[in-house]
């Protein structure tokens, strides 16, 4: 698969720095989509249903949601995606991951998997083309596909929207310093799972998505990001941070000092082990798994 690594004119990718990047967080949601019956408006007309695709969902989650919304056998939309001839950028090589834009889509008796997927890709093209202009001058070292790939990591790793600009900066700082990204979010994507904990054995697997062993970016996006994540990529907050961890909800700490990062991680671990705290904090995806980076879970799907 393609390395998908920013130009070496601006990024020197060496084996320097094996320190762990950690952020705590919830697991990507994969809950079933419930589609209500059609309802009548006051004028007697049928009101179309809608399908809501949350930011940060993987393509597999989107496919399952469309199957559920259209009452199709599992796997129907995935098969359609492979045959639909979606208008994706050439760099995507037919893989719609990253371009199934999170938004609300109408669903009625004429809706098909192809029409829904096409609408998502068309919406992504329109929204993404506007995001860089709104964010300011693009980073000249990035292709647009690489920007969407980083945005997918930012979407997964950020505990809040306010964190996105800092998470994007951490990604760029690590690339520019020649450090591996060491993100649980990319590793878990390659493993096809959504766990918030990662073991040392996991980090030794051979996979183009294992950012503990492989330098640079993963070969494809790892989810479908929203506009805010892409804006953060094109306009990251200035800073020298290379580590971050969400110690508790609303308390994500970014630092360039490894010793300070270790103290923050220890505080996170102490809180996680506390009997009063049964739910793990958001780790690096960015969520923290075994003191490693993690990813942000997608929100629950909804229909109306």
Q: How confident is the model at residue 277 (pLDDT cuts 50, 70, 90)?
A: low
- Greater model confidence, 28 or 223: 223
Q: How confident is the model at residue 115 (pLDDT cuts 50, 70, 90)?
A: very high
40-55 residue pLDDT tens? 445 555 556 999 999 9
66-93 residue pLDDT tens? 999 999 999 999 999 999 999 999 999 9
- Over the chain, what is the mean pLDDT? 79
- The pLDDT, as a whole number, for residue 253 is 95
pTM for the whole thing?
0.77
Give dist(CA 238, CA 254) in Å, integer.
12
- The pLDDT, as a whole number, for residue 100 is 98
- The pLDDT, as a whole number, for residue 196 is 66
Instruction: Give me the percent of the chain exceeding a pLDDT of 90.
Output: 63
- Greater model confidence, 35 or 212: 212
Of 116-120, 171-175, 282-286, least confident by mean pLDDT is: 282-286
Is residue 23 predicted with pLDDT exceeding 90?
A: no
- The pLDDT, as a whole number, for residue 16 is 31
Is residue 172 predicted with pLDDT exceeding 70?
A: yes
């Amino acid at each position: 698969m393609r390395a998908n690594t920013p130009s070496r004119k601006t990024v020197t990718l060496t084996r320097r720095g094996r320190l762990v990047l950690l952020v705590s967080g919830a697991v990507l949601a994969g809950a079933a989509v419930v589609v209500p019956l059609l309802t009548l408006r006051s004028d007697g007309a049928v009101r179309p249903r809608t399908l809501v695709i949350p930011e940060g969902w993987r393509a597999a989650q989107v496919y399952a949601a469309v199957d559920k919304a259209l009452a199709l056998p599992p796997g129907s939309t995935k098969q359609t995606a492979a045959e639909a001839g979606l208008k994706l950028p050439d760099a995507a090589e037919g893989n719609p991951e990253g371009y199934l834009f999170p938004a609300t889509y109408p669903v009625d008796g004429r809706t098909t998997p192809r029409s829904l997927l096409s609408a998502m890709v068309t919406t992504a093209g329109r929204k993404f083309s506007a995001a860089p202009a709104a964010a300011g001058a693009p980073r000249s070292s990035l292709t647009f596909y690489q920007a969407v790939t980083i945005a997918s990591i930012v979407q997964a790793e950020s505990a809040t929207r306010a964190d996105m600009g800092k998470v994007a900066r951490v990604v760029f700082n690590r690339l520019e310093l020649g450090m591996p990204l060491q993100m649980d979010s990319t590793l878990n994507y390659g493993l096809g799972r959504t766990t918030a904990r990662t073991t040392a054995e996991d980090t030794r697997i051979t996979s183009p998505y294992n950012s503990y062993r492989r330098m640079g970016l993963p070969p494809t996006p790892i989810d479908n990001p929203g506009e805010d994540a892409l804006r953060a990529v094109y306009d990251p907050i200035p800073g020298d941070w290379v580590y971050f961890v969400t110690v508790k909800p609303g308390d994500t700490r970014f630092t360039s000092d490894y010793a300070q990062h270790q103290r923050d991680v220890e505080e996170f671990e102490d809180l996680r082990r506390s009997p009063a705290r049964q739910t793990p904090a958001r780790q690096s995806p960015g969520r923290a798994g075994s003191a490693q980076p993690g990813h942000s879970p997608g929100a629950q799907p909804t229909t109306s």
